[in-house]
Chain A
């Protein structure tokens, strides 16, 4: 069964450093998403991406964040200058269609900012 994959599973970085989190969505899916979950809190939407552009973003997704689909299979989240409060699990998700379609989540990348 196809699934969303994410690398790395755990990333440790120093405050102020840039990180890139990588995702491979399910192959026939067209909509891609990033969510995050701070330890003990709820899953929060960051950004959605369709047709090579951002379709929606939350207040969390400020100028420090960017997304890219560099090729036909990868989807990346870049944080330019990490802060302590960026420490969280980051989940990539994908769906065939937009509204109403099921989003399938990856296993997550645990980002720890020291």
Chain B
């Protein structure tokens, strides 16, 4: 069973059409939930870190929220340049054991 499930797999929006991307996780002892953006052929680019249920973080048109079972990445009035794959990753464990477990990602396409 996957520890991190992202949905939908792909999302097509019209410019200005707000929506939310979902990341469900089943790890116990969550130490951090991370959102990254990945453009084709590039490395993941850090967006947000969330640590505890109820936490929210915002940057430009993006807002990330966290509950005990899932996280949402809300995109308000998206632009074509927001088109990318959005990755969710969780971290459990402690000390030097700090690997990230990623979901499969959500491919967002924003049409002008």
A41 to B103 Cα, complex, angstroms:
9
- B101 proximal to A (CB < 8 A): yes
Give the CA-CA distance A85 to B32 in the complex, in Å: 31
Across the interface, do A98 and B42 meet the contact criterion of CB distance under 8 Å? Answer: no
Q: How large is the interface on A (under 10, 10 to 19, 20 to 34, 35 or more residues)?
A: 20 to 34
Contact A45 B43 (CB under 8 A): no
**Residue-by-residue, is B84-111 near A (CB-CB < 8 Å gives 1, otherwise 0)?**
0001010101111111111111000000
For the complex, is A103 an interface residue (Cβ under 8 Å from B)?
Answer: yes
B residues contacting the other copy or chain, number (CB 8 A) = 28
B95 pairs with A102, CB closer than 8 A = no
Interface residue B45 (Cβ < 8 Å from any Cβ of A): yes
Contact A45 B99 (CB under 8 A): yes
Taking beta carbons and an 8 Å cutoff, which residues of B are in contact with A?
31-32, 34, 36, 41-46, 49, 51, 87, 89, 91, 93-105
Residues of chain A touching chain B, judged by Cβ–Cβ distance below 8 Å, are 4, 31, 33, 35, 41-45, 48, 50-51, 55-56, 58, 89, 91, 95, 98-108, 110
